[in-house]
């Protein structure tokens, strides 16, 4: 029983006493080692991954996982975890159910027989897990779920065990998760555009610099697309700024949805977006740009009675072209191509898209 603190019985020999002390010291050291390791981690997914892995390995458990309740405060944490692939370690539990089973305890709940707690066990392990310790995860003074230590040994955890070390583990896991989450949130605020959720221009500069150096090192092409909405000012003027915001979000979502995972979309400024395409030549980028226009320009933003078509021009540039070996020249060249396309589209006698779709006033 390496993970529970051993209490001293009334009559105990000196040897047994020493063995108890050594046992408890071993657990304390293991906890300290886990703590030292997890406190160094900088993002939620790696934190959860490492915490689960170390606790399982060091305390010889079959399975360790997290249950996060469905309170709104957990949405952001779950989003960060899913973006970085740690979702397989998480079970989303119904808050009412979780609180009922654990009685909302901020202390570890030791479960001798896991059967009544099945709903807190991922379905794949429901037959194997016989006993478990549910360690409360408290973030910002609120119970958000639990770190669950599961074992196939029935009765390994008993409600009357001294849970001193488990309590310590719960506190450390909670503080660690809280601080890594706050850090990641801050980073996100600094690198994301608040309206669309896309990464911002500063982040684009960092990514583009990294991708350019990777492209040089591995002799792979790199290209980008510069995108600018057509007649966007009219959308704001006709339907209001809130509608303009929704229009930008629709375009941002569509771009993200249509591109591959390796490609990155950034909100450059106002109604301008940049797409960075690693391992793609300028010809590939031009083709991708055409397909984006084809797919997105059939979409409409439904706003009240109005159906507003989405329209944008774009220009491509690739670093295999002469003189295109730094971010500035790539962006400038793509922007020039964008303005050429904008002129061509304007001369092509396109209908005034936003006027044409204005709601009828009759």
Ligand X SMILES: Nc1nc2c(ncn2[C@@H]2O[C@H](COP(=O)(O)OP(=O)(O)OP(=O)(O)O)[C@@H](O)[C@H]2O)c(=O)[nH]1
Closer to ligand X by Cβ: residue 243 or 259: 243
Q: Angle at CA 151, nearest 5°, toward 135 and 134?
A: 15
Find the DSSP H helices in the chain.
Answer: 14-39, 44-58, 75-83, 95-102, 164-191, 201-218, 232-239, 241-258, 282-296, 327-347, 353-356
Q: Measured from the CB of residue 236, what is the shortest distance to ligand X in angstroms?
A: 5
Residue 93 vs 231, nearer CB to ligand X: 231
Do residues 27 and 169 make contact, with C-beta atoms less than 8 angstroms apart? no
Q: Which of these segments, 54-62, 132-140, 204-212, 244-252, binds ligand X (CB under 6 A)?
A: 244-252
Question: Contact 177/136 with Cβ under 8 angstroms?
Answer: no
Nearer to ligand X, 211 or 230 (CB): 230
Question: Does residue 245 touch ligand X according to CB under 6 A?
Answer: yes
Smallest separation (angstroms) from ligand X to the CB of 55: 45
Token pair of 234, please? 């009219």
Q: In what order do the strands lie in the sheet with 272-278?
A: 264-269, 272-278, 222-229, 312-318
The yes or no reply on residue 270 touching ligand X (CB under 6 A) is: yes
Terminal Cα-to-Cα distance of the chain (whole angstroms): 79
Exposed/middle/buried for 227, CB within 10 Å: 0-12, 13-18, 19+? buried
Q: Which is nearer to ligand X, 181 or 354 (CB)?
A: 354
**Of residues 139-158, which lie at the interface with ligand X (CB under 6 A)?**
none
What's the closest the beta carbon of residue 205 comes to ligand X, in angstroms? 19
Which range touches ligand X (CB under 6 A), out of 36-44, 230-238, 300-308, 320-328?
230-238
* Binding footprint of ligand X, residue count (CB under 6 A): 14
Which of 229, 277, 314, 317 touches ligand X by CB under 6 A? 229
Is residue 43 a contact point for ligand X (CB under 6 A)?
A: no
C-beta of 77 vs 255, nearer to ligand X: 255
Does residue number 60 form part of the binding site for ligand X (CB under 6 A)?
A: no
Establish if 230 lies at the interface with ligand X (CB under 6 A): yes
* CA neighbor of 157 nearest in space, from 134, 177, 128, 183: 134
The nearest distance, CB 349 to ligand X, in angstroms, is: 15
* Closest residue by Cα to residue 65 from 88, 96, 94, 84: 88
Widest CA span in the chain: 97
**12: which DSSP letter?**
-
Is residue 241 a contact residue for ligand X (CB under 6 A)? Answer: yes
> With binding defined as CB under 6 A, does residue 185 bind ligand X?
no
Which residues are at the interface with ligand X (CB under 6 A)?
Answer: 195, 228-233, 236, 241, 244-245, 248, 270-271
């Amino acid at each position: 029983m390496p993970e529970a603190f051993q209490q001293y019985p009334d009559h105990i020999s000196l040897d047994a006493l020493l063995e108890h002390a050594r046992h408890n010291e071993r657990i304390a050291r293991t906890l300290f080692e886990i703590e030292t390791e997890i406190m160094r981690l900088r993002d939620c997914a790696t934190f959860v991954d490492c915490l689960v892995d170390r606790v399982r390995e060091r305390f010889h458990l079959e399975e360790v996982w997290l249950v996060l309740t469905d309170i709104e405060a957990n949405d952001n944490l779950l989003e960060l975890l899913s973006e970085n692939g740690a979702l397989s370690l998480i079970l989303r539990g119904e808050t009412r159910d979780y609180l009922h089973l654990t009685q909302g305890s901020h202390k570890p709940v030791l479960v001798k027989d896991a059967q009544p707690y099945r709903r807190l066990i991922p379905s794949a392990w429901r037959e194997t897990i016989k006993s478990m310790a549910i360690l409360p995860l408290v973030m910002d003074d609120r119970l958000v779920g639990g770190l669950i230590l599961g074992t196939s040994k029935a009765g390994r955890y008993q409600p009357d065990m001294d849970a001193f070390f488990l309590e310590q583990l719960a506190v450390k896991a909670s503080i660690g998760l809280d601080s890594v989450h706050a850090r990641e949130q801050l980073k996100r605020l600094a690198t994301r555009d608040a309206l669309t959720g896309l990464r911002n221009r500063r982040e684009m500069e960092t990514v583009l610099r990294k991708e350019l150096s990777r492209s040089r090192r591995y002799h792979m092409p790199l290209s980008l697309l510069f995108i600018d909405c057509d007649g966007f000012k009219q959308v704001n003027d006709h339907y209001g700024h809130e509608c303009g915001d929704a229009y930008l979000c629709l375009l941002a979502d569509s771009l993200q949805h249509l591109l591959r995972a390796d490609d990155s979309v950034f909100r450059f400024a106002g109604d301008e977006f940049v797409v960075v395409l690693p391992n793609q030549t300028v010809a590939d980028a031009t083709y991708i740009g055409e397909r984006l226009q084809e797919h997105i320009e059939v979409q409409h933003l439904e706003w009240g009675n109005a159906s507003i078509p989405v329209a944008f021009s774009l220009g491509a540039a690739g670093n295999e072209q002469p003189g295109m070996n730094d971010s500035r020249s790539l962006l400038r060249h793509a922007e020039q191509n964008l303005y050429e396309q904008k002129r061509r589209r304007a001369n092509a006698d396109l209908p005034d898209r936003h006027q044409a779709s204005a709601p009828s006033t009759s």
